[in-house]
Chain A
């Protein structure tokens, strides 16, 4: 009982309230309303998922047949009847060399997902073995003051995800550290706000690609003589700069629009500037600041993929790009796996931010 209660709280907190009815279903607690609720919250979404997969499946099948027909016709036109028959047989036999290359089916994507996982496990085992093998040697090297030998093998899909997450958090943190303080300053002063407004309005719509190039110009020069990981630095700074604008604007707006009554209270009490900012202005604008941060994080995640792809820094973006250029048999389905992973992680990040936003919002009816 207690466990199901906390479970309920958790699911509600992370905005997955619909799971509640699922857990009710399993614990056998459904009344009359429960059935309609179940239909709405469980059956309908499940049906829509099935419908989606069905449409995708038949679409992919149609595309596959179209592509196959093209191939056979091309063989017929180029090399004659015999080649066409060979091609037809080859496709039917499912040989890798002649498969039509098009939108993969759900089953293919699922298979790629499993193979990516298998690949990850293999690489992990490899890494562990490497670590064991080099443990003694590394200990000795460190004792001698030399650098340890590190694993330099190919990163697995999961490693790429981790790299992307690391980059997005670094970028998000950068955005937060730049946008919140500046937003507060701008929000506090009318003069400052109107004098920098043009700059914000111009910079806000600049595309991620341009930010990347700009950061590239600067970072390239600055890291010329150091051994730091400039691809990582370039991509996280670009992500931060692209994504910080909603936080900047929201913070400034929140600070500028603090309830006049609160300001009057601060004035009557003659609170000092620091006290006024930290005790009155900041707490009252926190909900808006967090709304901004939530948008910032989702923008950061969205542009990250594009930036990694362009900057050639490791991560999901470059994974997608490499697979696309690779053009192997299962490349397309790996790209679609990456697409789902990107989408699901984006969704989870947003939910986490929403949860934090609701926790800091003093007015519980607000938000979402």
Chain B
């Protein structure tokens, strides 16, 4: 098996019983500095954030405040300048399949079919499984995102929306501990975006993978999240405010829009963004 087995080090005690920690992701005094020709640019400083198991968190903040920077540091694709990030108590040292990423652009290999793109990850992570089992996993997730008719279509022949569906299937199929999403629907029209939100939340309801998603869309942030994290504007951005979304799950778009608290939540977020 290629995934390093992670010892779940952090625990918490309740009534004398030791439970595995509820904290999945821990960002502690996180700092990021980019060297620029005009000197050092401190994007993030003293950023603290804890994300629980089975939690769906959305992150909003002004453009350029450092959301992508933070997410790519969690993914291990961007070096940490100070502080630390840990997943289940293990410090993040580099990228790995325990943290699946859905990028803003679908980032599929255009020369591969939809199935091959999903298989790329499945083959790698479940290398101990048989070929048939691996194919079944990949097909299952492609089915889940509504692409059962497009297994053998080349990625380049798929529409943007369909490509991003493959991206979702690819991310879930490797069964990560944490799912990181950077404006995954930002490039889509609003109709397609709605469809994909529904697909995402449907799979998520079943798998309950801890998810951290950046979005610019306030409604999307509320609809998907258990908590909305608001980041202050940079430089030296940190967590500005946190809003708990107390709608029960599974939720439908209609339930959410008709809920009496909805406009309260919306106003809270917009007020934050406008100051």
- Taking Cβ atoms with an 8 Å cutoff, the residues of A that contact B are 259, 261-262, 264-265, 267-271, 275, 279-280, 283-284, 286, 362-364
Q: B109–A275 contact, CB under 8 A?
A: no
Given the complex of chains A and B, what is the CA–CA distance between A279 and B123 in angstroms? Answer: 12
**Is B134 interfacial (CB 8 A cutoff)?**
no
Minimum CB distance partner of B2 in chain A: A270
Q: A270–B124 contact, CB under 8 A?
A: yes
Q: Which residues of A have CB within 8 Å of B125?
A: 269
Q: B77–A264 contact, CB under 8 A?
A: yes
Q: A261–B107 contact, CB under 8 A?
A: yes
Q: Which residues of A have CB within 8 Å of B156?
A: 362-364
Q: Which residue of B95, B111, B154 is within 8 Å of A268 (Cβ)?
A: B95
Q: B101–A275 contact, CB under 8 A?
A: no
Give me 21 A-to-B residue pairs in the complex whose CB atoms sit less than 8 angstroms apart, sorted by A's number.
Answer: A259-B107, A261-B103, A261-B107, A265-B107, A265-B109, A265-B120, A267-B77, A267-B94, A268-B97, A269-B125, A270-B95, A270-B96, A270-B97, A271-B120, A271-B124, A275-B124, A283-B112, A284-B111, A286-B111, A362-B111, A364-B156
Q: Which residue of A264, A267, A269, A286 is within 8 Å of B120 (Cβ)?
A: A269
Whether A269 touches B124, Cβ cut-off 8 Å, given contacts A261-B103, A264-B103, A362-B154, is yes
Q: Which residues of A have CB within 8 Å of B61?
A: none
User: Could you count the A-B residue pairs with CB atoms below 8 Å apart for me: how many are there?
Assistant: 58
Q: B124–A363 contact, CB under 8 A?
A: no
**Is B121 interfacial (CB 8 A cutoff)?**
yes
Whether A268 touches B109, Cβ cut-off 8 Å, given contacts A279-B120, A362-B156, is no
Given the complex of chains A and B, what is the CA–CA distance between A271 and B101 in angstroms? Answer: 15
Minimum CB distance partner of B105 in chain A: A261
Q: A261-B105, A265-B103, A268-B75 are in contact. List 4 more A-B contacts (CB 8 A).
A: A264-B101, A268-B96, A269-B125, A283-B111
Q: Which residues of A have CB within 8 Å of B96?
A: 268, 270
Q: How far is the CB of B20 from chain A (nearest CB, A)?
A: 25
Q: Which residues of A have CB within 8 Å of B77?
A: 264, 267-268
Q: Which residues of B have CB within 8 Å of A284?
A: 109, 111
Q: A264–B174 contact, CB under 8 A?
A: no
Given the complex of chains A and B, what is the CA–CA distance between A275 and B125 in angstroms? Answer: 13
Q: A363–B103 contact, CB under 8 A?
A: no
Q: Which residues of A have CB within 8 Å of B103?
A: 261, 264-265
Given the complex of chains A and B, what is the CA–CA distance between A342 and B76 in angstroms? Answer: 56
Q: Which residues of B have CB within 8 Å of A271?
A: 120, 124
Q: B124–A262 contact, CB under 8 A?
A: no
Q: Which residues of A have CB within 8 Å of B109?
A: 262, 265, 279-280, 283-284
Q: How far is the CB of B2 from chain A (nearest CB, A)?
A: 6
Q: Which residues of A have CB within 8 Å of B174?
A: 269
Q: Which residues of A have CB within 8 Å of B184?
A: none
Q: How far is the CB of B214 from chain A (nearest CB, A)?
A: 16
Q: How far is the CB of B240 from chain A (nearest CB, A)?
A: 28
Most B-side CB within 10 Å, residue of A264, A275, A280, A363:
A264
Q: Which residue of A268, A280, A286, A363 is within 8 Å of B99 (Cβ)?
A: A268
1/0 contact string of B90-119 vs chain A (CB within 8 Å):
000011110111010101011110000000
Main secondary structure of the interface of A (DSSP, over half): helix
Minimum CB distance partner of B117 in chain A: A265
Q: Which residues of A have CB within 8 Å of B110?
A: 362-363
Q: Which residues of A have CB within 8 Å of B75?
A: 268
Please give me the 7 A-B residue pairs with the lowest Cβ-Cβ distance, nearest first.
Answer: A261-B107, A362-B111, A267-B95, A362-B110, A283-B111, A269-B124, A268-B95
Q: Which residues of B have CB within 8 Å of A280?
A: 109
Minimum CB distance partner of B174 in chain A: A269
Minimum CB distance partner of B167 in chain A: A265
1/0 contact string of B180-203 vs chain A (CB within 8 Å):
000000000000000000000000
Given the complex of chains A and B, what is the CA–CA distance between A323 and B181 in angstroms? Answer: 72
User: Which residues in window 158-187 of B have CB below 8 A to A?
Assistant: 174
Most B-side CB within 10 Å, residue of A269, A279, A283:
A269
Most A-side CB within 10 Å, residue of B95, B96, B99:
B95
Q: How far is the CB of A265 from chain B (nearest CB, A)?
A: 6
Q: Which residues of B have CB within 8 Å of A362?
A: 110-111, 154, 156
Q: Which residues of A have CB within 8 Å of B76?
A: 267
Q: How far is the CB of A362 from chain B (nearest CB, A)?
A: 4
Q: B101–A268 contact, CB under 8 A?
A: yes
Q: Which residues of A have CB within 8 Å of B112?
A: 283
Q: Which residues of A have CB within 8 Å of B105?
A: 261
Minimum CB distance partner of B170 in chain A: A265
Minimum CB distance partner of B171 in chain A: A268
Q: B100–A268 contact, CB under 8 A?
A: yes
Given the complex of chains A and B, what is the CA–CA distance between A261 and B76 in angstroms? Answer: 14
Q: How far is the CB of A139 from chain B (nearest CB, A)?
A: 53
Minimum CB distance partner of A271 in chain B: B124
Given the complex of chains A and B, what is the CA–CA distance between A342 and B254 in angstroms? Answer: 73
Minimum CB distance partner of A365 in chain B: B156
Q: Which residues of B have CB within 8 Å of A267?
A: 76-77, 94-95
1/0 contact string of B17-59 vs chain A (CB within 8 Å):
0000000000000000000000000000000000000000000
Q: Which residues of A have CB within 8 Å of B97?
A: 268-270
Q: How far is the CB of A148 from chain B (nearest CB, A)?
A: 49
Given the complex of chains A and B, what is the CA–CA distance between A265 and B124 in angstroms? Answer: 12
Q: Which residues of A have CB within 8 Å of B95?
A: 264, 267-268, 270
Q: Which residues of A have CB within 8 Å of B154?
A: 362
